[in-house]
């Protein structure tokens, strides 16, 4: 039920909106029925007794925040299990999760249970045999056990072959012996590992008779199921405070010759027989399915973070009035300043771009997974390259725009109660976890270089890279959406070509292939990013067009305005590349700049309606600045008065330290 006491400026903004907000909400929810399901679930879960904080978390100690997060996570998971249809197929559950923002509302800095469902269960599903899945998934889904996923180590992250944790097979006892031979071999970062999980999937170097058989997954119990005490041979704890995710309970884990049964190796892809015979996986990358899944989910996660941030910033910009450019007239809303529109409207368009892209990417992931189950591996390399590159650009773009939203709110955006610092803290982490962005760009670049050589030989390319075969010369600039996509393809093609040429030149000069790759790496990462831009532009346009016919004319017009804004924004951002590789001229640039400014003016009246369509409840936004009623100043004061320092007029530090200091008695 909408509040009645709404800020007048915000109320007026909503009357300007020329499209049906509910229609857009239904579209973003993948249908009206899903909107109703989501709202019903939110209403039930958010009204569970004790699930919402009475005292702001910001005033709790680090230990208290974790304990409160566990308390609320238990209530949350119970509520989700009670109110969610357990008969929904797995694919539809994931699609529902794409729409679900409830966990972020309950545990603001993320739940210590998050890796249980997002990685532990997914790892079992992707890497366990049918027998292993039957046993472990039942226990995990019934919450008989709590798990996490331990891959990253203190000394190694993205470079998986460098992991030092060992799992040595003892054929005499049919056991694996897990060991952390060095300090840098300690597992470091897994969420929930420190004090929450009692099991984890551990990625370790498999050793059989002193020979390494690569990184393999092992199911390891780390705590007693009754007492929760760490088991003998286990050293586990928390890694300490971080920029964000401070309630996730990130931990470290070391092994001192811990023995586990042979059956605890997850053996869907590779197996170790009783006598120590190793049966290799048909493809070494099959073991990395969990990471690919999480990278796909990151695209969705960061778009949700940005949607929350821009909702806060747009609503605040509608009620905030500042300066007096015209003497004698009222101070304008800061949303009327074109510079503010430039900061924020692209954030709405970017949210839409990745919202639609992740749905396309999820469908691709689902199809490749089905192929893998049939033994077909042909499309796995393309999925890997796409997941790498799209994880990079989505995390980088959304994080940068969240920070822009915070700065667009001035000093009040710096307040923790605005929720913008928290959103930045959790979003910027996505640039590092599940593959540091530069490393992932270089992985994608390897696929592009390989595809380039295939194209030169006339061999077929994967659909997402097929444009690399086009060798036609550049024509005059075409400012249509298809023309802009073609121009970005030309940029990516040119950058891949330049990277390959650089590699060949460095190799010819006497450098080893590895040193040549390192020296060309700046060009290679730029080529991979350019390829990612092609994918996002292409998919965003295709996904909007696919839905356009079913939409009302006003909504269709707004979606195309955002689409065009996004295309022109990135054209202007990548002006230098386009000048280098296409026929873009100064006249074209001036025309694009004028079109961009016109689009800002056209979209401006719909700004509040567009963020309202994200349909975030106030409890989910958790923001003094972004509430639906626009009472930002009142909420800021209400939150300020909750500070424990305001409980007494004179703090004890005055008499203990300040008064003697002021009177020269120190």
pLDDT band at 4 (very low <50, low <70, confident <90, very high): confident
Alpha helices, DSSP H, located in 29-101: 32-46, 62-83, 90-99
Is the pLDDT at 490 greater than 80, yes or no? yes
- Helix pair angle (62-83, 32-46), 10° resolution: 130
Residue 287: predicted pLDDT? 63
pLDDT band per the 50, 70, 90 thresholds, residue 275: very high
Closest listed residue to residue 119, CA positions, set 239, 241, 295, 258: 295
Calculate ∠ Cα 619-621-623, nearest 5°: 100
3-state secondary structure of 4: coil
Sign of CA dihedral 167, 170, 176, 177: negative
| CA dist 172 → 219, 261, 262, 270 (Å) | 20, 12, 11, 20
Q: Which residues are catalytic?
A: 434
- Among residues 126, 146, 437, which one has the least CA distance to residue 286? 126
- Percentage above 70 pLDDT, the chain: 95
10 Å Cβ neighbour count for 76?
A: 22
* Cα dihedral: 557, 353, 289, 83 (round 10): -60
- Average pLDDT across the chain, whole number: 93
Contact predicate 610/600, CB 8 Å: no
Minimal CA–CA distance to 580: which of 493, 482, 518, 472?
493
pLDDT at 344 over 80: yes
pTM for the model = 0.94
Inter-CA distances, 25 with 1, 3, 99, Å: 16, 19, 11
> How many other CB atoms are there within 10 angstroms of residue 70's CB atom?
19
Where does the pLDDT of residue 656 fall: very low under 50, low under 70, confident under 90, or very high at 90 and above? Answer: very high
Q: Are 499 and 524 in contact (CB under 8 A)?
A: yes
Strand partners, 235: 254
User: What's the mean pLDDT in 246-269?
Assistant: 96
Burial 631-657 (b: 16+ CB within 10 A, else e): bbeebbeebeeeeeeeeeeeeeeeeee
Among residues 50, 108, 56, the alpha carbon closest in space to that of 79 is found at 50
Residue 199, SS3 per DSSP: strand
Coil/strand/helix, residue 630: coil
What sign results for the dihedral spanned by CA atoms 103, 104, 109, 110?
positive
- Least confident range from 39-43, 250-254, 390-394: namely 39-43
Distance of CA 546 to CAs 533, 535, 556, 664, Å?
Answer: 20, 16, 11, 75
What single-letter DSSP state applies at residue 121? H
What per-residue confidence (pLDDT) applies to 513?
97
Regarding predicted confidence, which is higher, 254 or 109?
254
666 pLDDT exceeds 60?
A: no
Q: Where is pLDDT greater, at 110 or 173?
A: 173
Contact call for residues 467 and 489 (beta carbons, < 8 A): yes
The DSSP symbol for 632 reads H
Q: How far apart are CA 355 and CA 427, in angstroms?
A: 16
Q: How far, rounded to the nearest angstrom, does the alpha carbon of residue 18 sit from its chain's CA centroid?
A: 32
41 or 564, higher pLDDT: 564
| Range of lowest pLDDT (156-165, 408-417, 615-624) | 156-165
> Mean pLDDT over residues 174-200, rounded?
97
Task: Pick the closest to residue 613 from 315, 220, 236 (CA basis).
Answer: 315
pLDDT bracket for residue 97 (50, 70, 90):
low
Q: Give the distance from CA 346 to its chain's centroid.
A: 18
Q: Give the CA count within 13 Å in the CB-facing half-sphere of 502.
A: 19
Report pLDDT for 394.
98
In the chain the first and final C-alpha atoms are separated, in Å, by: 59
Mean pLDDT of 303-317: 98
């Amino acid at each position: 039920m909408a509040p009645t006491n709404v800020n007048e400026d915000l109320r007026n903004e909503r009357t300007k909106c020329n499209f049906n907000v509910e229609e857009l909400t239904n579209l973003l929810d993948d249908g009206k029925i899903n909107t109703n399901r989501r709202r019903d679930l939110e209403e039930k879960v958010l009204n569970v007794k004790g699930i919402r904080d009475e005292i702001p978390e910001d005033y709790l100690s680090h230990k208290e925040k974790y304990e409160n997060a566990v308390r609320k996570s238990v209530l949350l998971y119970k509520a989700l299990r009670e109110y969610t249809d357990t008969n929904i197929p797995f694919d539809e559950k994931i699609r529902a999760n794409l729409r679900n923002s409830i966990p972020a509302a309950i545990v603001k800095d993320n739940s210590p249970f998050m890796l249980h469902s997002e990685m532990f269960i997914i790892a079992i599903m992707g890497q366990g045999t049918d027998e292993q899945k039957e046993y472990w998934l039942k226990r995990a889904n019934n919450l008989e056990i709590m798990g996490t996923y331990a891959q990253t180590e203190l000394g190694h992250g993205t470079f998986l072959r460098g992991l030092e944790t060992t799992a040595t097979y003892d054929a005499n006892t049919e056991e694996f012996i897990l060991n952390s031979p060095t300090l840098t071999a300690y597992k470091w970062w897994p969420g929930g590992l420190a004090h929450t999980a009692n099991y984890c999937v551990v990625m370790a170097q498999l050793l059989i008779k002193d020979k390494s058989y690569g990184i393999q997954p092992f199911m390891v119990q780390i705590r007693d199921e009754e007492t929760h005490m760490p088991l003998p041979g286990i050293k586990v704890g928390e890694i300490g405070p971080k920029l964000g995710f401070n309630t996730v309970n990130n931990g470290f884990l070391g092994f001192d010759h811990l023995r586990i049964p042979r059956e605890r190796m997850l053996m869907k892809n590779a197996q170790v027989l009783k006598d120590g015979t190793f049966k290799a996986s048909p493809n070494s990358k099959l073991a990395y399915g969990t990471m690919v899944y999480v990278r796909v989910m990151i695209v969705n996660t960061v778009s949700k973070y940005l949607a929350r941030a821009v909702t806060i910033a747009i609503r605040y910009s509608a009620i905030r009035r500042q300066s007096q450019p015209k003497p004698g007239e009222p101070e304008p809303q800061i949303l009327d300043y074109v510079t503010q529109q430039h900061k924020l409207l692209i954030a709405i368009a970017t949210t839409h771009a990745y919202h639609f892209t992740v749905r396309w990417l999820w469908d691709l992931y689902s199809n490749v997974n089905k192929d893998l189950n049939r033994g077909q591996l042909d499309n796995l390399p393309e999925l890997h390259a796409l997941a790498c590159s799209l994880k990079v650009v989505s995390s980088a773009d959304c994080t940068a725009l969240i920070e822009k939203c915070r700065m667009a709110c001035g000093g009040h955006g710096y307040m923790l109660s605005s929720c913008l610092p928290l959103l930045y803290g959790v979003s910027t982490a996505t640039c590092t976890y599940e593959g540091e962005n530069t490393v992932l760009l270089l992985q994608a670049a390897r696929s592009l270089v390989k595809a380039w050589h295939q194209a030169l030989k006339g061999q077929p390319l994967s659909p997402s890279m097929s444009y690399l075969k086009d060798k036609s010369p550049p024509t005059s600039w075409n400012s249509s959406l298809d023309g802009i996509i073609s121009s970005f393809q030309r940029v990516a093609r040119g950058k891949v070509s330049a990277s390959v040429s650089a590699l060949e030149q460095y190799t010819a000069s006497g450098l080893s292939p590895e040193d040549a790759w390192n020296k060309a790496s700046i060009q290679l990462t730029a080529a991979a990013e350019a390829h990612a831009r092609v994918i996002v532009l292409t998919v965003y346009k295709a996904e909007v067009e696919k839905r356009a016919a079913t939409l009302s004319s006003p909504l269709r017009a707004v979606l195309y305005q955002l689409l065009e804004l996004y295309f022109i924004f990135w054209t202007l951002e990548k002006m230098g590349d386009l000048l280098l590789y296409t026929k873009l001229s100064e006249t074209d640039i001036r025309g694009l700049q004028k079109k961009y400014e016109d689009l800002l003016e056209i979209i401006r009246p719909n700004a509040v309606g567009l963020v309202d369509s994200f349909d975030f409840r106030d409890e989910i936004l958790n923001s003094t600045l972004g509430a639906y009623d626009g009472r930002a100043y009142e909420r800021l004061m209400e939150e300020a008065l909750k500070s424990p320092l305001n409980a007494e007029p004179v703090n004890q530090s005055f008499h203990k330290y300040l008064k003697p200091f002021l009177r020269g008695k120190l």
